[in-house]
A and B are shown apart, each in its own frame.
Chain A
Amino acid sequence: MSKVIVVTSGKGGVGKTTTSASFACGLAQHGYKTAVIDFDIGLRNLDLIMGCERRVVYDFVDVINGDAKLEQALIRDKRVPNLFILPASQTKDKDALTKDGVGKVLDRLRETYDYIVCDSPAGIEHGAFIALYYADEALIITNPEVSSVRDSDRILGILASKSYRAEEGLEPVKEMLILTRYSPDLVHKGEMLSIDDILDILSIPLLGVVPESKAVLQASNSGIPIIMNQKSNAGMAYSDLVKRFFGEDQSHRFITMKKKGFLSRFLRN
């Protein structure tokens, strides 16, 4: 049975699109037919992160309005089999994302895809609301930073009260936390909220912790989802969390401070 998974956070710039790209890529690498949809109408970016920006012809809104067929708008990823991208519209009005229109497109996708990943825009306005509305599961992206944690809690409230599942009295949306830009060194120094601090406040299960890494910027520079760079800690953290998503027992890596050499320890803590 196919699943709709929203990647959401409330706050902007925490790694929703980075996560959507890598998570969708990971699902497809496991052999599942996966579509990832950009819900950020007017601020399309998933195409850039996935490296398919020059192949966009039709978009999500074209499909909703009946100006293009779904198959015409879906872009097949050239690197990973089973992975398809549905880009957002860059020009049209975001009100084009009607509950009805989005619901129909998702229903069509559910017929042939195993997973449909919805990359939510920031905020709690219409676009973010419609991205999470039909979700079966939600990946909550949070940075270890006060405003991000607070905004994530807001989003959890919306998932619990305004989603389709909530409105219809179905089983609640399954929520999972992904902590991004985590810096074990800062946590050790008491300068950053720890994993336990954040779990204590949000009280939802932890799917993964992605460490702060320069490789993420390099990946977005070149339009390659970070999960494809298995030499980087962040890339490995994404592979781990995808495995965890499929129920594999995978311990969390990159969450403790790096061991320091004798000289650096001597000079500075």
Chain B
Amino acid sequence: MGILDCFQNTRTNTASIAKERLKIVVSHERSLRHGQLDYLPSMQQDILDVIKKYIEIDNDQLKMNIEHDDNYEVLEMNITFPDSQNLFKPIEP
């Protein structure tokens, strides 16, 4: 550590950000390539349909991703809600 470091802001570790981003995008592209998860798009559509029964969201507001680790896989699902105050008010049938 040099003396001048005292006056510098702590740097953000961009390498670890890069690694995390790469891990996600590469594992996603690999899963598409291997075709192991052929059902993913249709599962995504089904889940979307269920959510739409209760909340108004657009198709691109649901994001799904599968992450592989050594011993397990994680299904990650991200739903972005619209900016609406009556979010949890049921849609009239």
Contacts and interface: CB of A to CB of B under 8 A. Distances in A.
Interface in A152-189: 153-154, 157, 161, 187, 189
Main secondary structure of the interface of A (DSSP, over half): helix
Contact of B5 (A187, A194, A269): A269
Contact of B19 (A150, A153, A201): A201
Interface in B15-40: 15-16, 18-19, 21-23, 25-26, 29-30, 33
Contact of B2 (A145, A161, A265): A265
Contact of A150 (B4, B11, B16, B22): B22
A201 B11 contact: no
Contacts of B26: 149-150, 153, 201
Given A267-B2, A268-B2, A269-B1, A201 B22 contact: yes
A56 interface: no
Interface residues of B, number: 20
Nearest to A186: B15
Main secondary structure of the interface of B (DSSP, over half): helix
Contact of B18 (A146, A154, A157, A200): A146
Contacts of B23: 200-201
Interface of B: 1-5, 11, 13-16, 18-19, 21-23, 25-26, 29-30, 33
16 contacts: A149-B22, A149-B26, A150-B22, A150-B26, A157-B29, A157-B33, A190-B13, A190-B16, A191-B15, A192-B15, A193-B18, A193-B22, A197-B18, A201-B19, A201-B22, A201-B26
Interface of A: 145-146, 149-150, 153-154, 157, 161, 187, 189-194, 197, 200-201, 265-269
